């Protein structure tokens, strides 16, 4: 996996391990991720070959609102905050992302600038899938990419439904 420092804040994070042994270790860690619960072990092992493991220290910024997006993450350990700037340019916490959850999926699909900022609020271990590697999965393993894309669509749909419900409650209140 290659990362261009101009495209990503990942260059400031600590990369953990490499090689086949690391791929097996990553697969074992991914098995408990909410996003991958209905994936077969063989699919998780295949996915592990396309991702990289990182550690983020407290305060580390994974990406900033408005930055070009080129990766998504699954939090294996730790906790992140997703923040969005309001009309007064004040960062507001939108959500907290706990172990087993994912973030940044929209960029894998649309490649658009980030809609929010992600910050580690405690030491966190992350699995990162770049857009480039997702495209490689599409070429190498179409069935795996289709299942992954369906899961991303389901997650985004769930989040949109939740946001719509919150908006309605806000408008009514």
CATH number at residue 21: 2.60.120.10
Phi/psi at 70 (nearest 5 deg)? Answer: -145, 15
Q: What is the pLDDT of residue 8?
A: 54
Mean pLDDT of the chain: 87
Look up the domain containing 71 and give its range: 9-172
Q: Is residue 107 part of a domain?
A: yes
Q: What percent of the chain has pLDDT over 70?
A: 89
Beta bridge partners of 75: 126
Q: Is residue 2 part of a domain?
A: no
Q: Is residue 149 part of a domain?
A: yes
Q: Is residue 1 part of a domain?
A: no
Q: What is the pLDDT of residue 173?
A: 73
Q: Is residue 4 part of a domain?
A: no
H-helix or E-strand containing 24?
A: helix 20-30
Q: What is the pLDDT of residue 5?
A: 36
Q: What is the pLDDT of residue 161?
A: 77
Q: Is residue 21 part of a domain?
A: yes
Write the CA distances from 147 to 40, 138, 163, 173, integer angstroms. Answer: 11, 10, 24, 39
Alpha-carbon distance 148 to 169, whole Å?
Answer: 32
Q: What is the pLDDT of residue 58?
A: 96
Q: How many domains does the chain have?
A: 1
Q: What is the pLDDT of residue 18?
A: 56
pLDDT of 4 higher than 50: no
pLDDT of 114 higher than 90: yes
Mean pLDDT for the stretch of residues 145-168? 83
Q: Is residue 18 part of a domain?
A: yes
Q: What is the pLDDT of residue 140?
A: 98
Q: Is residue 132 part of a domain?
A: yes
pLDDT of 165 higher than 50: yes
Beta bridge partners of 81: 96, 119
Return the minimum-mean-pLDDT range out of 58-62, 106-110, 132-136: 106-110
Pairing of strands 124-130, 71-77: antiparallel
pLDDT band at residue 21 under the 50/70/90 scheme: low
């Amino acid at each position: 996996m290659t990362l261009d420092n101009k495209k990503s804040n990942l260059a400031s994070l600590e990369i953990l391990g490499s090689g086949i042994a690391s791929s097996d270790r990553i697969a074992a860690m991914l098995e408990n991720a909410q996003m991958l619960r209905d994936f077969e072990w063989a699919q998780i092992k295949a996915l592990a070959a396309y991702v990289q493991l990182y550690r983020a220290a407290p305060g580390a910024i994974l990406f900033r609102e408005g930055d070009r997006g080129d990766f998504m993450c699954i939090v294996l350990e730790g906790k992140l905050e997703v923040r969005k700037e309001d009309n007064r340019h004040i960062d507001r916490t939108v959500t907290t992302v706990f172990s087993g959850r994912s973030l940044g999926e929209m960029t894998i699909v649309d490649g658009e600038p980030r809609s929010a900022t992600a910050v580690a609020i405690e030491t966190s271990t992350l699995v990162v899938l770049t857009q480039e590697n997702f495209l490689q999965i599409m070429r190498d393993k179409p069935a795996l990419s289709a299942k992954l894309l369906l899961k991303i669509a389901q997650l985004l749909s769930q989040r949109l439904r939740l946001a719509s419900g919150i908006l309605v409650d806000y408008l009514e209140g």
